Structure 1
Amino acid sequence: MAYFTSSTRFAAPLASALGLVLSLSLAGCGTRTDGETADAKATAETTAAAAPAPVDSVKLKQLAMRRDSLRADSIVKKSGQLPGAILPGHRIVAFYGNIRSKGMGILGREPKDQMFRKFDKVLAEWQAADPGLPVQAAIHNVTITAQGTPGKDGKWRLMNSKATIEEVRKWAKEHNCILFLDVQPGHSTLQAELPKLEEYLKDPTIHLGIDPEFSLATMPGVRPNQRIGTLDAKDINFAVSFLARIVSENNLPPKVLTVHRFTRKMVTNYKNIKLDPRVQIVMHMDGHGEPTLKKDSYHDYIQTEPVQYTGFKLFYEYDPKPKPHHLMTPKEVIALTPAPLYIQYQ
């Protein structure tokens, strides 16, 4: 999975609402010389002609989205990027986890101030390793999390509370970070879960991650962590269209969409994934282990099956074990082909 970064505001105007214009040519409704009105049939015909055609709001919205997509395409052809695009003009470096959990990643494992001191050092290391490419700091919070129990609706997932989302949003703003809200659908679907995040994604600094590992809707009876889940191109295309609509309707810069991947079956029919200038897709190598294994996974599932931009995850707890293995350095990661533009620490 390959990704790249760049950022300037997306000034493309909102697709304007389409109005229905009716030209009505009404037949004369005069009276006869004897004072009688026109017959009932003529009156009925005139009334029917004047009645407005029913408005298909779904079709109108689709037309508006299509028009905005064509406009975005034309801007990209002229300038190479939409205004406000983060990739490929920056490298995103993110700390991942859940601020309410010590077990999901560095984000939440350590006290907040201690964690951000560590993050500042990591950001400086990346900037020093590749001085010509600005680093964009990011927090990547798992916001809809796969669960070990089915819950009342049997979907095996749970969304963070509004208070938790607002707190992590505050952390990001305090430290000049963009924020990724990550979705592990469990036995639900992206179609059902993503709308829950729409109000947050209207913020130009908030982006989206989706995790096929914990997408089990096609595997009845399988509990999260029992098997590796999967998403098809059609699911990823839904996420792209969902984000593109939010960008258009709210006059936002392009969104970044990260897709986790470390096996072939986690993403099926990758060639059918549709690109849209309003959404920058990062295929993110999410596997842990020693450096050779991680490089091989990146080659097999990201480089060999390219989509748009690429990402690479580093695990503080798992990559260095067993010794003598180590956490890969920024220089080692940059040496990959293509050089990842999204880096995530768990």
Structure 2
Amino acid sequence: MRTTTALAAVSVLALGAVVPAVAGAQDEPATSLSPLDAPRRVLDTRDGASTADGEFVGGGPTEPDTTIELPIAGRVGVPETAGAVALNLTAVNAEQEGFVTAFPCGEDRPNASNLNVGDGGTIAGGAFVRVGDAGQICLYTSAVTHLVVDVAGHFPDDGVDALDAPQRLLDTREASATADGQFERIGQREAGSTLELDVAGRAGLPDPTPPVVLTVTVDALDDPGYVTVFPCDDQRPTASSLNHAAGQTIANTSVSRVDDQGRICLYTSADTHLIVDAAATLPPSTYATLEQPRRLLDTRASDSTVDGEFSGNGLRPQRSTLELDVAGRAGIPDHAGAVLLNVTAVEARTAGFATVHPAGVDRPTASNLNVAEGDTVANSVVTRLGSGGAVCLHADASAHYVVDVVGWFPGTPAATSDEACPSPPLFPTYRMVALYGTDASDQLGALGEQTPEEAADRLREVMQPWEQASDRPVLGTFELIATIATAAPGDDGLYRSVSPSDRVQRYLDVARQHGFYLVLDIQPGRSDFLTEVQRYEEFLREPDVGVALDPEWRMGPDEVPGQLVGQVSAAEVNDVARYLADIVADEGLPQKLLIVHQFQDRMITDRDQLIAPPELAVNIHMDGFGTREMKLETYSVTRIDPPFSNGFKLFYDEDIDIFGAADVLEFDPVPDFVSYQ
């Protein structure tokens, strides 16, 4: 890596949100992107970081007004003959406001930017950059910032038709100028307005114009909002091309079809100034586009996806991974090798990043999207398809996620295994904090003392001290008593009541809205655990539903719940464990939680015979109440060594001097699962 103060640059395609390039049928592309099996990191200026080949690591943040010359051809699978590359650029922890521009080394740097950063900000953006002299790309930074670059694939020489330099087509600000004097100084755009911008035949663009690559910049005023770029002869899509906060200056780039009159439209949801630069056009041989973007995923409660699948999955917890089917949906053929996606993190609950990669491939050291708490951020992603035509979406940041597919590239999918998307184990990835109970009775735990919606708000408050003190992300959990032991025998004489499906579904729906996990607690009465667990199989085939077994309420043939403490054999628990492990394997699910409650040694007979299949996180949960000394003594009896994990219950009413979060986090061992009753 060489740093120089010589300012040189460009023909660059910065790829942000994308709208359709061709509104109709189109021959399949012949000259196309060659995607890597997974994104590969080629630059990270942070000390202690890593890249795919161990080169260009560290060195500290860039100085203002400097250019990095980064070799790209001949590295990490990019051939020496590559004409352009698909990149994701990230500015990390900028120390002042500024911008980053990527361009081919050996050319003059244009008056354009790929990323705009604020003081302390971290932001990512996609870019197609033509490879310059000696197989290098140049990265100019106007601010002190760390830089991270990931490469997703490469194009041949004729894959991108770049202009000699980006040309300004619109600038609404005063004292501004465009390449031809048109659409300059026209004043801020009002909220809810749509601007029709002439493109064809301007500033070196051909007429008619193929799909055009535009860098769109907002200079926002008082309100947050978004901008959508689309062909004027199409209905405005629901996708956004650029999201901005109040007062923010931010850039992103769209690939848009130009309509028959040579125009594109720009819709603004808030008052803002707009700047638009044209960087290049994409020949029809490069990729095949859909008639309009198609939604493949929307984790919010909605039916907005193209086929109703992957809709309403719920807020994604931190460090979770979702496998998303792509090929065979929304007009993407089964033989597609790669796709162009628009990925949006919506109202992030935590700061972090998201990474998209082919299914069946290990998650790379790369990111596609960076968000701060509360942000809504969109970025376009070029990704190869993997096992079964699917991709993995790893959410380091807890947020809702929306994925739209815009176009596809022919080719061979990544060489993959048949494994599901890699998901981390529940423990020690998370510490789980739960409310226990059911709304079947307000006497059966804290969870049932209010509606499920109100319980979610209460749980969020309960989680706060744990989030402040814990050394890992806290995963909120509803522990719903699904099968409830009863004092009366009932019609079948089994002394238990089974929850209807709609009750379980209601709690699952609310849990997903908040990014929580759902545990179904089983009090079997005179039935057995496996029989009762199997009643809820439709829910247990979901990735975010686990099971808790409560031996206190496991009765013998002549026993009545509440008259004595029940018990269960290790063999019966193991039957449930094997059943759940088979479901996880069959469905390709992430690790599933299995809790066994205990507060007396006798409650689990032959406990040393318990099994812990890798598909499960098996947790022995201390379920006794009393003074602090009594609870610690009971915990010393129930505690268990790996591969099992430990749990601890706190009782609002029965505990004397209830432990706080900071107290419990000093236990040895520290419980992985903590519940409140």
Which bin holds the TM-score, normalised by the shorter protein? 0.7 to 0.9
SS at match of 2:429: strand
Alignment match of 1:100 (pick from 403, 419, 440): 440
The structure with the greater share of residues assigned to strand is 2
Q: Given residue 333 of structure 1, which amino acid in structure 2 is its aligned partner?
A: V
After alignment, is 282-291 or 104-113 more displaced?
A: 104-113
Match of 1:313 in 2: 649
Give percent identity, aligned residues only. Answer: 30
For 1:162 and 1:179, the matched residues in 2 are separated by 14
Amino acid at match of 1:120: R
Quote the residue 1:127 is aligned against: 467
Matches within 5 A, 1:1-346: 8=321, 83-112=423-452, 114-130=454-470, 132-216=471-555, 219-303=556-640, 308-320=644-656, 326-346=657-677
Structure with the bigger RCO (C-alpha within 8 Å, sep 6+) is 1
- For 2:321 and 2:648, the matched residues in 1 are separated by 24
Q: CA deviation at 1:114?
A: 4.5
Q: Secondary structure at the match of 2:659?
A: coil
Matched-pair contact (CA < 8 Å) for 1:270–1:307: no
C-alpha distance 170-267 of structure 1, shift in aligned 2 (>3 A) = same
Partner of 1:67: none
Cα distance in 1 for residues equivalent to 2:426 and 2:319: 3
Partners of 1:192 and 1:90 in 2: how far apart? Answer: 30
**Cα deviation per residue 1:19-55 (whole Å; 9 max; x = unaligned)?**
xxxxxxxxxxxxxxxxxxxxxxxxxxxxxxxxxxxxx
What SS does structure 1 have at the residue aligned with 2:675?
Answer: strand
Q: Classify 1:117/1:192 alpha carbon distance in 2 versus 1 (closer, same or farther; 3 Å).
A: closer
Do the aligned residues in 2 keep the contact of 1:283 with 1:307 (CA within 8 Å)? no
Could you say which structure has the higher helix fraction?
Answer: 1
Deviation digits for residues 133-165 of structure 1, max 9, x if unmatched? 110011000001111111111111111111211
Amino acid in structure 1 at the alignment position of 2:566: G
- Partners of 2:461 and 2:536 lie apart in 1 by 31
Give the letter for the 2:674 counterpart: I
Q: Give 2:628's aligned amino acid.
A: P
* Conservation of the 8 A alpha-carbon contact between 2:439 and 2:451: no
Aligned-residue offset at 1:112: 4.6
Contact 2:570 2:607 in 1 (8 A): yes
Checking the alignment, whether the CA contact within 8 Å between 2:456 and 2:510 is kept in structure 1 is no
Distance 1:111 1:183 in 2: 21
Matched residues in 2 for 1:256 and 1:112: separation?
A: 21
Classify 1:312/1:162 alpha carbon distance in 2 versus 1 (closer, same or farther; 3 Å): same
Distance (whole Å) between structure 2 residues aligned to residue 307 and residue 255 of structure 1 = 14
How many angstroms apart in 2 are the aligned matches of 1:280 and 1:176?
19
Distance 1:96 1:108 in 2: 8
Quick check: 2:568–2:605 contact (8 Å CA) kept in 1? Answer: yes
Shift in alpha-carbon separation, 1:271–1:7, aligned structure 2, 3 A = farther
Residue of structure 2 in register with 1:79 after alignment: none
Where does residue 328 of structure 2 map in the other structure?
Answer: none
- Unpaired runs of at least 5, structure 1: 12-81, 321-325
Bigger Rg, which one: 2
Please give the TM-score of this superposition, normalised by the length of structure 1: 0.72
Shift of the 262–307 alpha-carbon distance from structure 1 to 2, 3 Å rule, reads farther
Residue deviations 1:90-130, cap 9 Å, x none?
10001110022100111111355554333222211001112
| Per-residue deviation, 1:170 | 1.4
Larger CA deviation: 254-263 vs 166-175: 166-175
Q: How many residues align?
A: 263
How far apart in 2 are the matches of 1:115 and 1:337? Answer: 30
Q: Deviations over 1:311-335 (max 9, x none)?
A: 0000111113xxxxx1101111111
Q: Which amino acid letter does the alignment assign opposite residue 457 of structure 2?
A: R
Matched letter for residue 284 of structure 1:
H
Distance change (3 Å), C-alpha of 1:198 and 1:84:
farther
